[in-house]
Amino acid sequence: MPPCTLEPDPSLPLIVDIAQYVRLKEARERGLALSARGITHSIGREGNTWLLRVAALDAPAALEELQAYEAELKNTDVPPPDESPLPLSFWSLPLVALVAVAGAVLQAERGPSWRELGILSAEKVVGQGQWWRVLTALTLHGDVPHVLANVWVGLLFGALLVPAFGQGVTWLAVLAAGAAGNALTALSYWPQDHRSLGASTAVFGALGLLVGDALWLLLRRRAGRSWWKWMLPLGAGLSLLAFLGAGEGKASVDVMAHLWGFAAGLPLGFGVSVLRPARAAAPLQLACGACAVLWLAGAWVWASLHG
């Protein structure tokens, strides 16, 4: 609902009502826009309406900001005209879960030697150039709860990415974010020989992909004036990173790997979103999915030959 403006009069009290709204949420959102401009405000109630109040001297600037805010809403709340709904399919999710569980079973059967062959080691990745470990470490796990937690959260983030990226691009991007996160983790610890394993780096890479995609959507809809719209997806992502990635202070949780996974996924998600891959042809999506599988399998083959 557009604001009902009341022109301020210098002879009236120092605080004036400049707009009224039916819902408190509307008044608060406009108040945030005023705060971004450094305009102090307050919200009061009168009957069934909520009043937005500012100092009389700030009223002209506040009215100008509200008018700009309402104009921006008209531009950003309407989806681009060339976007038509896409049919949704999530057939890749059970396949990814199957791959994760198969990796855990293989690790249990092969024993400690298999774990040592693929674990992330800063000294071996950076010092000896064993690049494949940034990928193989994503398929290794500490225990059964570790596997289940990564599969559950990873599939949740993947399901949120599929409508934006498509089936194949989603999992190729998640794998790339996880590998990049592991590489950054190894670099950040080297020359200390830091060792870690698990798919959680890729899981938090997927979270970064989601935030990057949301930021690109805001930019594409020209929502640049209201800083809080940009802070909302970024703040939500950082909050989830802090909530899920800290591990309640457990020493076995590699917080740095979670952070680097998120940091790698965020710009990657922004860049991939620019290409609008969800609208790519099915053969291209299948090719990206196959590339992810071959990339991961190839890393293990290389590890077996050179480890």
Instruction: Walk me through the domains of the chain, giving residue ranges and CATH numbers.
Output: 15-70 (3.30.70.1530), 92-306 (1.20.1540.10)
Residues 108-151: tens digit of each pLDDT: 888 888 888 889 999 999 989 899 999 999 998 877 887 888 88
Q: Taking 80 as the threshold, does the pLDDT of residue 3 lie above it?
A: no
Instruction: Tell me the per-residue pLDDT of 172-211, one tens digit each, with 9 for 90 and over.
Output: 999 999 999 999 999 998 888 888 888 889 999 998 998 8
- Sorted by sequence, the CB contacts under 8 Å of residue 137 that are 6+ apart come out as 118, 119, 120, 182, 196, 197, 198, 201
Average pLDDT over residues 231-251: 58
Q: How far apart are CA 30 and CA 23, in angstroms?
A: 11
Q: Is the previous residue joined to 191 through a cis bond, with omega within 30 degrees of 0?
A: yes
Bridge partner residues of 42 (DSSP): 53
> Rounded to an integer, what distance in angstroms lies between the CA atom of residue 28 and that of residue 65?
14
